Structure 1
C-alpha cells in the first residue's frame, strides 16, 4: 500500500459498545499477565477468559482478575464468542493463532513479533482486513513519553533533515525460555527479540520512509553465525539505508558485558540538531529524552513514566470505541521486511 493511500485511509468504525468488550488472554506469562492487568485496571474492557499451556500460570492470572474463567485452548476461547483476544505465546504461534481468531471475527492484540517473517506478517494483516477486525501489535516503546517527544520534534522539522539514526539495545541477560534459541520457534535471536522495537521506533519517528537497502551481520558467542537454521544470533549489527538518504545503524545483543542491565538508545541527528531517547542507569523501564544543539542539551521527558501497558490499553480502548481494521497496521509488514533484510531472508527496496 502506498504512503498516500495510508495517509488517506482511516479505521472503519462500528457504533461504540454499550458494554465493555469481552477479552480473552492466550498466554499469561509475565508479559501476558502484565498486559491483562493494565487493561483490567483501565476498565476499558472485561477480562472474560484465560488460557495458557501452563495450568499454574493460568490459575495465577485468573486469581488477579476475579470473574475470568480458565479454559484449555485457543478453540475454547474462541467458542466463547469474545470481542478480542490478547496473544502472548511463543513467536511461531502468533501468526496461526491470530489468523484463527480473526477468521472467527475476533479482534487481536499480539505480542511482538506479529510473525517470524514479512510473509507471515502479511498473511495476518490480510486476515484482519478481510475480517474487518482491529489488529494491534505490542510495539510498546512508541508509547513512552520520551519517544513521542522525540517523534514530535522530528515530524515538526525541528531537527532539520535527519540524516543519521543510531539504535542500540544490549540486554545483559538474554531470554529465559528455551524456545527463544530455536530458530524455527523464534524466527531469529536478539534482532527479532530486541532490535524489532528500535527499527519500528525509528521508522515510526521518521514518518515511515521506504527502506532501500539493508546490510546485516549476525554473531553467536563472538563468531559469525554459521548456520541460521540451527542457531540464533546473540549479537548483531546492521545498516539500513532509507529513501530519504538517512542511514540507520543498529546494534543489539544478549549477554553483553556493558556494566549494567541494559543499554537502550534511539538517537536522531539532523542538519539543525539532534534528539535521543536513552535508558537511565541501565533500566529497562526508565527513559530520558533530550534535544541537542551543538554541545548543549535540554530534557524533553524523564521518569516516572508508566508506559508498559499503554499499547494494550490503547488497543482495548479503540476496540471499545468501535474501531475495526486500521490500515496503519500495514506498517508492521514494513518493519518485518527490514528484519528479513538483516537476516538475509529477502531483498529490500526496489
Structure 2
C-alpha cells in the first residue's frame, strides 16, 4: 500500500455477509494488500500468509517487532495439511472439539510458511475463526491469512471496526466492519510441540476446557506474568495491550480492593492526576461516593466473566479517550475466562500489581 492511500471502509452484515464486499476485500488480499477483518475474538489485520512481502506490510502498518510471530487463519480443516510438517493426533482431537473457535494450535511448520510469519521459529500458530465474515473472506481469497490484532503494536486490541480506523486509517488498504467482537480477548494459544501441551497465551478457550479433553495441560510462565525472552506466540511480551495511561492492578479480598482503590484515587487526584477505575457491577456503587474517580468503567459482572472479557479492551480505549493518567483495575479470580482477563490486565500494566 502507498503511504497515505485512502483506507476503504466496508460495512458488512455479519449474519449475511454481502458477497460483493467480501470479494472486494479478497481481491485486495490476492494483490498483496492488507485488510482488517472481524473475528469472534478481536479484529485481525490480515495478509496472504504465503507472501512474505505482503506479511511485512502488516508489521510496517502496526509498528510490530519482527520477533513477534503471527497466527495463520484458515477456513477449512483440510487447509492445515499444507501448512504443517506433521499433524499430531491430539491436534485433530482439539480441532474437532474447538474449531471453528478461539483456539490457536502451535504445530511444526511446513516449508511453505515464510520466516516472517513465524519470526524464524520452526513452529506456526494456526486457527479457524468462527466469525462468519472471517470465514467468508478466507474462502473468497482462497488463501491462508496471517493476522495479528489490527491495532498499533502494544496498544489495546480492537473489538470494533472503528477502533481499527482510529489506529490504522491511511496505513492499510481496507477495514471490513462486521460489528463488535463477541469474545473480546484473543484466542488461546496452545503449543502442541511441547512434551506437555502448553498454554502460551490464555484466551477464549479455557484451561479447564482443554484439560477436559487432553488431561494434562501446562501454562507457560509468561502467561502468568513472567517475561518471555523469545516470544513463541503473540501477546507474550512483558508489556502489551497498554493504553496511554499507566495501569495498576489491585488484588486481594474485594472489600479491601475497593477501599485501596478509593484511597489511591484520592492520593493521585491530590497530585493532579486524572484517575480512571475499571470496576464490576458488584463493586461500582463503592466508587459513587467521594473520592470519585474522574472516569469509571463498569466492565460487567464477576459472576459472568465473559461480559468482562468482551468489554475490557474497549474500556481501556475509553480511558484514553477520557485522558486518564492513571488506571486502577480490580483483579478477578484466575479461573475459567478469568485467567485470560488477568493475563491481559497484567500485560497492560507491565505487571504493576498492588496488593490490598
Please report the TM-score for the alignment, with normalisation by the length of structure 1.
0.27
Give the strand-richer structure, 1 or 2: 1
